[in-house]
Amino acid sequence: MSEKGKLIVISGPSGAGKSTVVFKAIEGRNDFCFSTSVTTRSPRPGEVDGREYFFIDRETYDRMVEQDELLEHAEYVTNGYGTPRAFVEQKLNEGMNVVLDIEIQGARQVRSKMPEAVMIFIIPPSMEELRRRLVNRGTDSMEAIEGRLARAKEEYAEAEGYDYLIVNDRIEEAAAAFSAIVTAEHLRFADRKDLLK
Ligand code: 5GP
């Protein structure tokens, strides 16, 4: 692969089904990878260190921020989250599309550092549906769920500046929308002028 990969940022409320949409869209493809973030949050039941996240303590997190090892970082509800920079840069250079599932403060940092990033906001069909999904997931306390719903409302108010908006009502349609966006982004004229020679 000679072409550089696309950096794809997905944001939207926790419970919108962002990673489910993307996993569905990239099933069977080998030109995509997910960046694994670091977080100070404790693992939920079933989460594995190095798979969902690298679970680290505050001290390690603060040191990574200090040493500029994170492409972006942000506080979400009561925890720190961040994207290790080296992995993203390496994979993009190898021609892989790299997906970051991050909240919007971090997304803004990515946009200002890498304006060519493709920014996609994914939402559930309604706030009621979001509450239902969070309750059904059964991994957060009611207090944490209320915190996440409040944060979702703040994020909607600040989501201006994304390139695309996907409503995850039916997973197949949302995944098809994601694939269509990535296909179109790879066909950008500015990136393909060489073909005219
Ligand atoms: P959760 O605790 O539900 O896994 O994630 C909470 C929020 O943190 C989600 O909106 C998720 O997208 C966001 N998040 C996960 N990793 C990162 C990261 O590396 N950076 C930023 N800025 N947000 C992240």
Q: Which domains does the chain have, with CATH numbers?
A: 7-196 (3.40.50.300)
pTM of the predicted structure, to 2 decimals: 0.91
Pocket test for ligand 1, best of 14, 40, 65, 81 (most atoms within 8 A of CB): 81
Q: For residue 1, name the pLDDT band (cuts at 50, 70, 90).
A: very low
Query: Taking CB atoms and a 6 Å cutoff, what residues make up the pocket around ligand 1?
Result: 14, 37, 41, 72, 74, 76, 81-83, 101-103, 106
Q: Which amino acid is at 147?
A: G
Give ∠ CA 36-39-41 in degrees, rounded to 5: 130
Q: Which of 112, 178, 134 is nearest to 13 (CA)?
A: 134
Within the chain, strands assigned E span: 7-11, 32-34, 37-39, 53-55, 70-76, 79-84, 97-101, 118-123, 164-167
Cα of 81 vs centre of ligand 1, distance in Å, is 6
> What would the mean pLDDT of 55-83 be, rounded to a whole number?
96
Chain segment 122-138, per-residue pLDDT in tens: 999 999 999 999 999 88
Helix (H) or strand (E) holding 16: none
Strand partners, 53: 37, 49
Cα of 76 vs centre of ligand 1, distance in Å, is 7
Helix (H) or strand (E) holding 96: none
Which residue has the least CA distance to atom 3 on ligand 1?
A: 14
What mean pLDDT is reported for the chain? Answer: 94
Q: For residue 174, name the pLDDT band (cuts at 50, 70, 90).
A: very high
